[in-house]
Amino acid sequence: MAQIIESIDVAVPVKVAYDQWTQFESFPEFLDEVESITQQDDTHTHWKVKVGGVEREFDAEITEQHPDERVAWTSRGGDTEHAGVVTFHKLDDTTSRVTVQLDWEPEGFLEKAGSLLGAGTHAVKKDLKNFKEFIESRGDATGAWRGDVDA
């Protein structure tokens, strides 16, 4: 299983960064490979992604979520196997660090080769940069879900 860990500092309070990250249906606006996400309930989402020209669908379950701290998930069925966590760290009143840890199983020759060449790391870095530009240009989240989910 491949693992990616990347961080970015964003010029918004931790509450704003966290609140935006809970708005899964907005992910296509800043995650390049995400076509759509449908929120099914508080802890279940359905994803449609396009990676290297290949369309995939899967369900994900939020396994742990604590406001302003973390969102953890795992895939459930579908075309891809992965799990991850996003953590939020207050650097000061107006700056936050967002860290993504993603564990995934590359499928097929192209994904396995891409993983060896660091394509997944590059994609996560780009997505975090897109998130930074998105949230800093807005200055506020498009919505929020502040519920708690315990592991």
Q: What is the mean pLDDT of residues 67-74?
A: 97
- pTM for the predicted model, two decimal places: 0.90
Is pLDDT at 114 greater than 60 in this prediction?
Answer: no
Q: What is the mean pLDDT of residues 104-126?
A: 65
- H helix intervals, the chain: 14-21, 108-116, 119-138
Give the domains, in start order, of the chain with CATH numbers: 2-138 (3.30.530.20)
Residue 33 makes CB contacts below 8 A (sequence gap 6+) with 49, 50, 51, 123, 127
d(CA 49, CA 60): 13
Q: What is the pLDDT of residue 115?
A: 47
Q: What is the mean pLDDT of residues 13-32?
A: 96
Is pLDDT at 72 greater than 90 in this prediction?
Answer: yes
Better-scored residue on pLDDT, 19 or 3 = 19
Better-scored residue on pLDDT, 104 or 91 = 91
Assess contact for 104 and 124: CB atoms under 8 A: no
